[in-house]
Every structure is written in C-alpha cells, then in structure tokens.
Structure 1
Amino acid sequence: MDYLLQVKIGALVGLLLLTLFFGLIPARIKWFRDTNRTELHRTVLSLISCFAGGVFLAACLLDIIPDYLSDISAELDVRKVETSFPLAEFIMAAGFFMVLILERIVLNCREAASTDSKVLEICIAILVHKTIIVFSLSVKLVQSAVRPLWVAAYISVFAMMSPIGIAIGISVMEAKLAAGALIQAVLEGLAAGTFIYITFLEILPHELNSPGKQLLKVLFILLGFSIMAALTFIG
C-alpha cells in the first residue's frame, strides 16, 4: 500500500476515534451536566463556550476560507470559467443555509416528538483542530441542556463527517477523476459556510448577549482565536 494512502487511512481512523472520545467526555462527566449550577459553574461553562467561539472564528477566517478561496479560484482558472457572479461566495452561502435548514428540521422534529511529510503534517494539524473543536461543541450542547441521546447523536454525526470526507477524497484521487480537485474545492466551500453559521449565529451571539463577565468572555474568545492562529502559523 502506498505511504500517502496509509497516512490518509490512518487519519480517517484517528479522526473518528479522537472525535468520539473528546466529544463524549462532557456528556459523561457529571460536572458538565449539573443542572443546579452555581455562579462559578455557569461562568466556567460560559468561558469554555467563548473559547470555542474563538477557535471556530480562527479556523474559519485563517484556515478554511483562505484555503477554499485559493483552491476554487485555481480550479475556475484551469477550466477558464469567467463570470461576474461571485460563485465562490455563493458556495459558502450554500453551506451556511444547508446547516440552517437542517437545524430547523431537527428542531421541528424534536418538538413534534416532544423532545508524504506534508500530508502527515496536515493530518496532525487536522487532528489537533478537530479535537479542540469537538470538545468545545460537546460542552456547548451539554450547556444548552440537550438530552444525552441527542448529544451522542450530534457528536457521532460530527465525528463521521471528516472520515467520510477523507474517504470521498481518497476515492476521488485514487480514481484520478478530472474534476477531483474541483469537487474538493466545492466541499471546502460548503464546510466554510457551516463554520460561519456555527460561529456567528450559534456561539458568539449567545455568549456575548448574556449578562456578566463581558470583558473576560472577550479575552477567552481572543485566547481561543490566538491558539488556533498559532497552530495555523506553525502548520
């Protein structure tokens, strides 16, 4: 088996296991699920959520969107596609609305039911980013009083997305499809849209509009952003 293929398959398995492990930690630890919250308990959870917001913001602005815009621009140039329509931005918007529509459907259903070395470096960076993000997402779900079964379902779906993406990428590249790079760029755009949605409609508004510790919340957002910025710079 080719070395690069081994790395990709290893990343696929590693992403799935690490995401499930770190994603289910908050759901299994009683402290995160405590409903009789003290002021300190609420503050800690809020600051963790703000840190998550900074992580998502950095991943979105410093990693996903720049890579996507570069890739989609290169692919459109190769195919000599010239248009005044902002196609790259439209694909990101499609990812944004895809998450919005899916979330509304899930909420409505729940209410109705009453409740090479470069490749290796990239894989390691993805593993680190994914671990931070899924832990933050899980804390956010638990903090929002989502039922444990739903938390497990959300984390499982989230955990499977990257491995599925890697599997699709491996299939496309191994098949040597002419449109392989274009397909990858479009998927990156959809992913960018989902990050924009989660960052600006889910995490940041909820925390910054709730009273108390406003400056501390901003500092934790900056902390999350700075750590991800450092990881991006190193990677």
Structure 2
Amino acid sequence: METQCDSQCVTLVIYEVEETQPPVFDEDEETQAPEHFVREKPETTKHFDSKKSEEKTPDIVSTFETEKSDLGTKQQNGDYCKLDIGNDCFVVANKFCGKTLIHIRMYDTSERGKLYPTKKGIALDPNHWIKLSSWYYKDVDEAIKKYNGGEHVDEMIHLGRNNYVSLKTGYARVNIRRWFMPDLDKSELKATRAGVALTFEQWERLKLTMLVMPDFIGDILDNTELCVMRGDHQNQEGMMQCFDCNPNQILH
C-alpha cells in the first residue's frame, strides 16, 4: 500500500518484514558517560530550515489526528504535538524541566480507555532531532534498501551523547536507542532499554513527522545551534573535547 503527497513529500510504503526475535538489551543505564564517536559529521553541514515544511502538501498535517489551529501552540497537557506513527507509537514534542524534547514513545491504554506514555521510548533534544531529520535519514533509507535487497547491513549512526540509530542484518527494525560504555578500556558499547525499535512502516511515518514538526516547534528548531557548527569544532581536537560528539572523552 502506498500513500503519496507530492514530489516534496515522503512516500509511505508498508514493507512485509520477516519475523525475527528482538535483541536482548542490558539493564537500563541512565549514565551520562556512554559511547565513542562512530560517524563523522557530513561534509556539508546545512542548518535546519523550517521553511522546507512549507513545500509539502498542507493536508499532510491532517494525516496525524491534530487540528491546524493547534499548530505552534501548546495543548493543555503541555505537548506541542502528538503524532501517531502506528502500533501505539507516537512522536510527541513537549517541554520537560524547561527543555524541549521530541519523544518517540510507545503508549498504552488504561482501563478507562485513555492513552498514556510508557517507559518504552527515547527522548531526543532538538540538536539530535535535527541531525536525524536533516542529515542521517537518507543513510537509514539506504540501509533499509540494502536490507530489503538481501545485502549485509551493519549500520550505526551517532546522533549525539548516548543516542544512536542502528539497523543490522537479521533484525528488520530501525533501532533508535540510548547506549552506554561500561568499560572505557574496551571501548565497547552496550544497548540500554531506553529506546524504540521501529518497523520499516513506522520509519516511513516517522519521516512524515520530520516534515511537519517545524509547524509545531519551528522557532525552537531554527534557533538551535548544532555543536558541529561552532568554531571550536572546525578541528578534530575541538570535536574530541565535546561531550555531545565524544561523551566518553576517548582521545584515541
């Protein structure tokens, strides 16, 4: 099944994926000292531009059950938006302790029939969301294409801090997850339970939310300074000293 908007929009494709067993994750770690720097920044670092959302079909917003009158304003519960990407998974932008976060989170239904967020999911700050939506989504698309073509896939993309996007042969999911490094000497990353494993169909829906998110928090995204754009990141030493790029402060 395909749903098309226009040439600027994402084509929503439902893939038939194989039934596989999810990986076993280590116990959750909330530490601020996780992984090494896996992927270098792109050769061209283009600042996020919320105006690109104006090029999409306006009706795309109605794909996610929300009223256009609510765009750019908080709802009563403090959320800027709550966008359904299928299978009880939602993308929610809100403020927590004064910080804007974009959650990709599983929801459950209470006995009274009300949806509520669970612990299963991940919260990205605007910096990491911009990297995913503006830089790395094409890398994920390419990995999915290889996976569906039967090629070996072992993709792992560093969004910043503890957060990675990964896709590996044998597990047909786009895994957006927090990792940690229990032994700095071994420089070996281990996954935590803080994250979400998206089907390829959910990933296509997530890309649609990337198009409409500027309608809700465009000013916040436009005013977000990516650390890699700062002057102190124009050399390797500056990047290695950055806790977002190199949270373990590994110097080799």
TM-score by length of 1: 0.25
Greater strand percent: which structure?
2
Q: Which has the higher contact order (CA 8 A, sep 6+)?
A: 1
The two structures have a TM-score, normalised by structure 2, of 0.24
